[in-house]
Amino acid sequence: MALTAALRESDGIWFGWSGETGESHDLHFETYEGVTSATIDLSEQDVDEYYNGYANSTLWPLFHYRLDLAEYERDYQGGYERVNRIFGEIIAPHIRPDDLIWVHDYHMIPLGWILRQQGMHNRMGFFLHIPWPPTRLLTALPDHERLVEALFAYDVVGFQSAEWLESFRHYVTHEMDGTVGDDGRITVGARTIQAICCPIGIDAAEFIASARSKAARDVQMRVLESGVGRSMIIGVDRLDYSKGLAERFLGYERFLQKHPDRRALVYLLQIAPPSRTDVQSYQDIRSNLDALSGRINGAYADIDWTPIRYVNQGYPRDSLAGVYRAARIGLVTSLRDGMNLVAKEYVAAQDPHDPGVLILSRFTGAAEQLDGAILINPYSAEDVADAIAAALAMPRPERIARWRPMFDTVKERDVVWWRKRFVEALEGS
């Protein structure tokens, strides 16, 4: 979504895995609403070792500070490099000398390096959507040097927040003898790259419009009617351990324990579509949350009130916008999150005359930009519980005063701003 407009304007091609398995690596071209995508299938072994393996069982947990969940298998690393090489070899003949190449995320770190090996001199950029971990964690990855060196094939490397950029610089200066110049450029050996902080935004104009659409209003009414006057707390997340869903439920339970008189005034709606269901740690988080929501509902529910509505399915974007607008509190408790777009969507969807309150984990990239939120430490159930109590009691003038600057930021630093900032750096010399 973030790149559609850019690709349309520049007549670009989106290249990647089709999401399908198959034995041939033929490129499939497809044009939809003015954007051409070129995709290839991957074999089952590729998907196991590359996607479920190195990308989502090694890099994702490690980059989200979960050393305990990271799996180090040589087959995974081999699959990761093999698939990136396949990607590079297949896309190379379609790249013209003046094309800009923008590679996204941890699945494709070595792609630029592979394209350079094929003799490409194009400007190449890489954007990391997830956090960059502290050096002491990253060094637990076997062959971490090899992975980071591959980033030096790019001209520009972008991070979501100043904190992740700082961690990257720390690694480069402590592990690679790199130097950071006055202009922020980073030199290692013969290569100098530009590493920038470039926080991603949402398509704010589109989201604000969809929050006002008929579909959104219908959903908003449906939610408000079913809540019979109770304040709703909303959580929307892929079912992922980085999102702190268990901590959210426990913090909410603590609120119910501490404030029995306020129990019947609220409920939590948690929308959590499953993701990466072939990975064991994702199956584990799902059964943990099933048990936890069941236990809390069993302990606190009344004949006419269920404390947690826990929904394991996805909804159309305009419905989500209506749900956000109906919620008195947006609750984001990620334990680590590159940015967190849900926080921005919640802000964009609010009624300017009666906005809700955003409770936001300090461990998200978004926390650097959205300081009108109540910032919390999601590891502390007390902290979450106190924030819920404060948000419910917050008078309207304070809610407006906190929301307004956040709304301005979400609108100004939107996805177009993000894309332009990155592409300008990429075009520069």
- What residues are labeled active site? 129, 337
Instruction: Tell which positions 340-399 bind ligand GDG, by CB under 6 A.
Output: 340-342, 345
Site string for ligand GDG, 81-100 (x = CB under 6 A): --------------------
Considering the rule CB under 6 A, would residue 314 count as an interface residue with ligand GDG?
yes
Positive or negative, the CA dihedral 237, 239, 244, 247 is: positive
Considering the rule CB under 6 A, would residue 311 count as an interface residue with ligand GDG?
no
Distance in Å, CB of 182 to ligand GDG, minimum: 29
* Spatial CA neighbour of 238 closest among 56, 44, 417: 56
Cα→Cα distances 2→142, 341, 425, Å:
33, 11, 17
Considering the rule CB under 6 A, would residue 277 count as an interface residue with ligand GDG?
no
Greatest alpha-carbon span in the chain: 70
Distance in Å, CB of 93 to ligand GDG, minimum: 30
Considering the rule CB under 6 A, would residue 405 count as an interface residue with ligand GDG?
no
Alpha-carbon 421 to chain mean position: 19
Considering the rule CB under 6 A, would residue 316 count as an interface residue with ligand GDG?
yes
How far apart CA 248 and CA 360 sit, in angstroms, is 11
Considering the rule CB under 6 A, would residue 19 count as an interface residue with ligand GDG?
no
C-beta of 64 vs 254, nearer to ligand GDG: 64
How far apart CA 126 and CA 173 sit, in angstroms, is 20
Q: Tally the residues of the chain.
A: 429
C-beta of 177 vs 371, nearer to ligand GDG: 371
Distance in Å, CB of 104 to ligand GDG, minimum: 9
Considering the rule CB under 6 A, would residue 417 count as an interface residue with ligand GDG?
no
Site string for ligand GDG, 115-144 (x = CB under 6 A): --------------xx--------------
Distance in Å, CB of 315 to ligand GDG, minimum: 4
Q: Which stretch binds ligand GDG (CB under 6 A): 289-297, 299-307, 338-346, 386-394?
A: 338-346
Distance in Å, CB of 373 to ligand GDG, minimum: 14
* Spatial CA neighbour of 251 closest among 381, 389, 391, 361: 381
Considering the rule CB under 6 A, would residue 238 count as an interface residue with ligand GDG?
yes
Task: Starting at the earlier edge strand, list the strands of the sheet with 185-188.
Answer: 101-104, 124-127, 156-159, 191-197, 185-188, 179-180
Distance in Å, CB of 299 to ligand GDG, minimum: 27
Q: Per-residue DSSP letters for 255-295?
A: HHHH-GGGGGGEEEEEE--B--TTSHHHHHHHHHHHHHHHH
Helices H / strands E in the chain, number of each: 17, 15
Q: DSSP code of 47?
A: I
Task: Starting at the earlier edge strand, list the strands of the sheet with 374-376.
Answer: 308-311, 266-271, 231-236, 329-332, 357-361, 374-376
C-beta of 155 vs 337, nearer to ligand GDG: 337
Considering the rule CB under 6 A, would residue 170 count as an interface residue with ligand GDG?
no
Contact residues for ligand GDG (CB under 6 A)?
Answer: 129-130, 200, 236, 238, 271, 273, 314-317, 320, 337-342, 345
